[in-house]
Amino acid sequence: MIKQVTLAVASLFVCAGLAQAADKAPTAQQNKMTECNKEAGDKKGDERKSFMKTCLAAKKQTQQDKMKACNADPKAKELKGAERKKFMSECLKG
């Protein structure tokens, strides 16, 4: 009888732990893995392995890095006013 009660209590703790683990949001690395898997598509073998290694190692470009790159563009240097603003907006979206 005691064994059955102990087993039932242990089962409740395991179920509660699994439910709590399922509620946690995925980590940044898990999100990155999901995105890389989508991009890998139907690649197989060494090609997929190489792609995944590169994809997972790549750092996402920050807004500040994008701003630096857009400002360094020769076209940005020639434009003024509303034209420059429009160019920068499009550049930063990409």
Q: What is the pLDDT of residues 77-94, one digit of tens each?
A: 899 999 999 999 988 886
Distances (CA, A) of 26 to 6, 17, 33, 42, 50: 33, 16, 10, 24, 24
Residues 30 and 50 in one domain: yes
Residues 70 and 44 in one domain: no
Domain range for 71: 61-94
- CA 72, CA 74: separation in Å to the nearest integer? 6
- CA 91, CA 43: separation in Å to the nearest integer? 30
Tell if the pTM clears 0.75, that is, is over it. Answer: no
Residue 79 falls inside a structural domain: yes
Q: What percent of the chain has pLDDT over 90?
A: 16
